[in-house]
């Protein structure tokens, strides 16, 4: 397998994993447990609204996604990350300052990761993202990518 095929597949795996984590499929039992946990931890003024959602869930009526409170990124951020990574490929191909290209993408990912309260890049995604960045760099003869990534990443 060549580098291009490998890193394109890695990019797809990373993006699809991010999407799976924010797609919601209702499950009354799990949803009820989630609502109950939120109720127990909620401030007094938030509890009446949660009780209404719990009641709707118990009665099988339409209710809010209880996991929405835990999502710290959306499709918008996933698309933005995908664009950053695709631009990284293009820029590594055309730019002479490959270290700057890599540093810029790391800074962008760091900022997105911080805005998502550390939820965007978990340990599993981090490994694949590093592999992706290094494979792209190898294709364009930049051998110092791993060291640069380790020095600059916050994920």
Closest by CA to 144, choosing from 94, 92, 107, 72, is 92
Task: Say if residue 76 is in the same domain as residue 133.
Answer: yes
CA 122 → CA 25, 66, 98, 117, distances in Å? 22, 22, 26, 11
Query: Pseudo-torsion of CA 43, 51, 68, 123, nearest 10°?
Result: 70
Task: Say if residue 79 is in the same domain as residue 93.
Answer: yes
What is the residue range of 55's domain?
28-70
Q: Give 4's pLDDT tier (boundaries 50, 70, 90).
A: confident
* pTM higher than the cut 0.95: no
Task: Say if residue 101 is in the same domain as residue 49.
Answer: no
Summarize pLDDT for 19-68 with one digit per residue, the tens.
Answer: 988 999 999 999 999 999 999 999 999 999 999 999 999 999 999 999 98
Task: Say if residue 54 is in the same domain as residue 33.
Answer: yes
Task: Say if residue 147 is in the same domain as residue 85.
Answer: yes
Task: Say if residue 55 is in the same domain as residue 125.
Answer: no
Task: Say if residue 14 is in the same domain as residue 47.
Answer: no
Task: Say if residue 63 is in the same domain as residue 76.
Answer: no
Task: Say if residue 80 is in the same domain as residue 122.
Answer: yes
Task: Say if residue 104 is in the same domain as residue 130.
Answer: yes
Task: Say if residue 87 is in the same domain as residue 38.
Answer: no
Residues 6+ positions from 57 with CB-CB distance below 8 Å: 28, 31, 32, 35, 63, 66
As for how many domains the chain has, the answer is: 2
Predicted pLDDT at 1 = 58
Task: Say if residue 64 is in the same domain as residue 104.
Answer: no
């Amino acid at each position: 397998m060549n580098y291009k095929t490998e890193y394109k597949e890695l990019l797809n795996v990373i993006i699809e994993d991010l999407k799976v984590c924010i797609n919601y499929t209702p499950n009354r039992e799990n949803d009820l447990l989630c609502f109950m946990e939120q109720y127990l931890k909620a401030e007094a003024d938030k509890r009446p609204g949660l009780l209404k959602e719990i009641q709707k869930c118990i009665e099988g009526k339409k209710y809010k996604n209880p996991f929405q409170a835990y999502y710290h990124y959306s499709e918008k951020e996933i698309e933005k990350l995908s664009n950053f990574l695709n631009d990284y490929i293009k820029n590594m191909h055309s730019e002479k300052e490959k270290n700057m290209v890599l540093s810029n993408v790391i800074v962008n990912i760091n900022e997105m990761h911080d805005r998502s309260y550390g939820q965007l890049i978990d340990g599993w995604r981090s490994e694949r993202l590093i592999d992706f960045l290094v494979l792209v760099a190898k294709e364009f003869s930049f051998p110092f990518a791993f060291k640069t990534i380790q020095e600059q990443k916050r994920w």
